[in-house]
Structure 1
């Protein structure tokens, strides 16, 4: 009987210690997210362009790409996933593979081509920043890694790394963010090719509305599109943010928005695209 009592007491103490440790972990995590967020501008994350700030959120998205022959590609869960701030000034993204659905009459039974895209992860570090009360700017470096996990041709042929430099500057209600990066496959370079992407967005805040215009440009080196350039102009609107709890310290809120990519270059993989996004900030 004494042994049973002793085991019970030890079990209760162990459970209490684990619970206390978990509570301390979450408290420290929340404090770190608040501190990291308070030091940077409160800009909304653009529809497409990578943000110069670090954020913690869940992001489901949908995109529909439409070609000049009226073929459609629906990307369910485009760029969806979980963004975390596990360390000070640092963001880690887990991007779940999207499901890609093809609807192009020119290719007959394209349903055989439907399937999952690639799994990706992103590491972002924001070394320099200042919030709106001071100098209103932010600088971040980012490295994305994509695994060739997609079915058929719904993803990359080889594992790919994509480094990015992202900078942003604000003035009162206006801000500009720009990201320059390269898509670097680890093999089959002459077959796949490399790309340089430059995305720039200008945003203006009106109450909770953030109208924006993005310029999304890609230059191709080697591969099937060697020497070509693809450019889209993307007008969009983000609505941010709607808090889900009354506690001013509670970060739980929802943002949503949409944009329309419009091809402006002679070469383009698709004519235009609709992007719809929702972000649950926590």
Structure 2
């Protein structure tokens, strides 16, 4: 059960993080040409919604704040982790075919039965996208993008990996329908390679795939989120998660500034429980 106090805290942090963005995005004296270029490059790709878990191959420009409440099997039953921010943050399209994501380290709270809560920030995440192929709904409705992500060892002692992780990823998607309704599939495949600590961290291979519908402003989805560990403490183990959820948007705030919200529920399916039993997810995004 998610505690009301934690939900209230998440809402406060989300609102505080997002309150200044409309003014930022509407500063035409400085951003008008850049934002026109952003619109132009986004018009060359499908207009699907970013799924709850799977990183979209589309190029987005937004501020994103996620919240999750997870039940984990270790060190014993009843342990939960609340993540405020989810490691998301600012997503910028600096030039045609590229996107840069600068994450805001998540603030995490770990509750273990009969022990004091452990709190702190997680590691910093950065991601570079390069869009290789794309066509909007009128010209093929597909996209292929390469990612290069990194996680820096900046977090608190309880939540850091103690090593830098580099994750090359390939992502692709295909849609059917038009801009008002349809379905699409978005998928990513990548492997994290640590700078050290291989005997502990291993090399997790992650495959995500989202099947997404679209009717008006509603984007219901089912995602598969699969991890297989090579080397390390979890070598040879695999975990498959199924995420059920929906996102709703894009609601116009002012001009090009729009809001998106979403919620989902994640469960283990068909594999052993490794590092997660189930989780409740929520997201809020402001695009500009």
TM-score when normalising by structure 1: 0.87
Q: 2: CA distance between counterparts of 1:128 and 1:100? A: 37
Aligned to 2:194: 185
Aligned to 1:271: 277
Task: Give RMSD over aligned pairs.
Answer: 1.4
Question: Which has the greater radius of gyration?
Answer: 1
2:88 is the counterpart of 1:80: yes
Aligned to 1:234: 243
Q: 2: CA distance between counterparts of 1:149 and 1:54? A: 27
Which whole-Å deviations, capped at 9, do the CAs of 1:40-79 have from their partners, x for residues lacking one? 1100000000101000000011011013523211011113
Displacement, 1:87? 1.0
Contact 2:54-2:223 at 8 Å conserved across structures: yes
Displacement, 1:257? 0.2
Displacement, 1:259? 1.2
Aligned to 2:214: 205
SS in 2 for 1:114: strand
Q: 2: CA distance between counterparts of 1:209 and 1:72? A: 30
Aligned to 1:149: 154
Please show how residues 17-56 of structure 1 align to structure 2 within 5 Å. 26-56=31-61
Contact 2:63-2:285 at 8 Å conserved across structures: yes
SS in 2 for 1:60: strand
Q: 2: CA distance between counterparts of 1:120 and 1:61? A: 14
Displacement, 1:110? 3.9
SS in 2 for 1:280: strand
2:183 is the counterpart of 1:174: yes
Displacement, 1:151? 1.0
Contact 2:87-2:124 at 8 Å conserved across structures: no
2:110 is the counterpart of 1:93: no
Aligned to 1:15: none
Unaligned runs of 5+ in 1: 1-21
Aligned to 1:260: 265
Displacement, 1:23? 6.0
Displacement, 1:39? 0.7
Aligned to 2:19: none
Q: 2: CA distance between counterparts of 1:187 and 1:33? A: 38
Aligned residues: 254
SS in 1 for 2:192: strand
Displacement, 1:91? 0.5
Q: 1: CA distance between counterparts of 2:197 and 2:111? A: 29
SS in 2 for 1:86: coil
2:131 is the counterpart of 1:122: no
Q: 2: CA distance between counterparts of 1:256 and 1:271? A: 24
Stretches of 4+ moved more than 4 A in 1? 22-25
